[in-house]
């Protein structure tokens, strides 16, 4: 009698593993760069940060999907959300392409809607847990990166690599904060939504598709931009990693400047 193999719901896709490999390759190039002025330094940091960001987007959405799966939503597996494949997301443009453009142009870790979940099938407490699982993934990545940089990246060696990794960590701090804002369409609002009245939810539902656009518009207001980035750098600095590390990483990533 043959025994069928145990099916694993979590199966990292070749696409995800390829992006991870690209991030590692970028890290290797940045690590071996002789000087911040070398072309290899800029290329390495660019690939490290961009591919690393896509990896963390996948982890963010996987956090939502896996938490929903554990709570009983089996559709997330059928939709391919547990494979960490960004091509399976409901809105690849909003989830990957648009945030990547904003990182490249302005160093903004923009959140994006990605996976479709049947939130209505869960109790409010579970809905909040599902909503907060994504930002929690960004927070965990930020803490891990900052601890590694603080322990191993402060001796002055391989600074190009550590600057790039610092900027990636900075983006994780920013993504955590942005996602927790109570703006319709973002995770912070989704966690708050079960506590709102039906009338309020209906009124705000029309703004969910525009939440990110409203957020971006506010970030282009000079006073808001200055206050926001000041707060993110303050949170980043709590780790003990110098702010200048992230600033240099941001500069190196945008190699066309």
Answering whether pTM is above 0.75, one says: yes
3-state secondary structure (DSSP) of residue 185: coil
pLDDT given for residue 11 in this prediction: 86
Dihedral sign (CA 161, 162, 164, 169): positive
What is the average per-residue pLDDT within 2-13?
67
Query: Where do we find the tokens 């939709």?
Result: 79
What distances in angstroms separate CA 51 from CA 145, 186, 230, one per listed residue? Answer: 15, 23, 26
The helix (H) or strand (E) run that includes residue 19 is helix 14-32
Query: Is the pLDDT score of 171 beyond 90?
Result: yes
Q: What value does the mean pLDDT take over residues 154-172?
A: 95
| Domain boundaries defined on the chain | 14-253
| Contact partners, residue 147, CB within 8 Å, separation at least 6 | 239
Tell me the two tokens of residue 126.
């579970």
Q: Which carries the bigger pLDDT value, residue 32 or residue 123?
A: 32
User: What token pair was written down for 66?
Assistant: 């896996």
Average pLDDT of the residues in 161-167:
97
- Lowest mean pLDDT across 72-76, 164-168, 237-241, 245-249: 72-76
| Residue-wise pLDDT tens digits, 48-64 | 999 999 899 889 989 99
List of E strands, the chain: none
Computed over every residue of the chain, the mean pLDDT equals 86
Eight-state DSSP code of residue 208: G
Can you spell out the DSSP letters for 46-71?
HHHHHHHHHHHHHHHHHHHHHHHHHT
Give me the pLDDT at residue 217, please: 82
Higher-confidence residue: 109 or 177? Answer: 177
Q: Which residues are catalytic?
A: 61
């Amino acid at each position: 009698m043959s025994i069928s193999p145990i099916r694993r719901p979590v199966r990292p896709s070749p696409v995800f593993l390829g992006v991870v490999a690209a991030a590692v390759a970028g890290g290797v190039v940045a690590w071996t760069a002789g000087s911040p002025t070398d072309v290899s330094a800029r290329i390495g940091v660019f690939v490290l940060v961009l591919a690393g960001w896509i990896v963390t987007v996948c982890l963010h959405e996987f956090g939502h999907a896996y938490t929903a799966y554990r709570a009983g939503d089996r559709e997330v597996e059928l939709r391919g959300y547990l494979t960490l494949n960004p091509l399976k997301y409901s809105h690849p443009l909003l989830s990957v392409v648009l945030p990547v453009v904003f990182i490249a142009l302005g160093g903004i870790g923009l959140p994006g809607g990605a996976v479709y979940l049947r939130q209505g099938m869960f109790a409010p407490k579970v809905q909040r847990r599902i909503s907060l699982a994504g930002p929690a993934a960004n927070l965990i990545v930020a803490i891990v990166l900052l601890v590694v940089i603080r322990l191993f990246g402060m001796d002055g060696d391989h600074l190009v690599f550590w600057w790039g990794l610092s900027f990636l960590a900075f983006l994780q701090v920013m993504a955590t904060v942005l996602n927790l804002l109570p703006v319709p369409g973002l995770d912070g609002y989704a966690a708050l939504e079960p506590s709102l009245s039906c009338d309020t939810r209906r009124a705000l539902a029309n703004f969910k598709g525009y939440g990110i656009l409203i957020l971006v518009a506010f970030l282009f207001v000079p006073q808001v931009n200055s206050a926001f980035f000041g707060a993110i750098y303050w949170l980043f600095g709590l780790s003990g990693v110098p702010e200048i590390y992230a600033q240099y990483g941001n500069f190196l990533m945008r190699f066309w400047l």
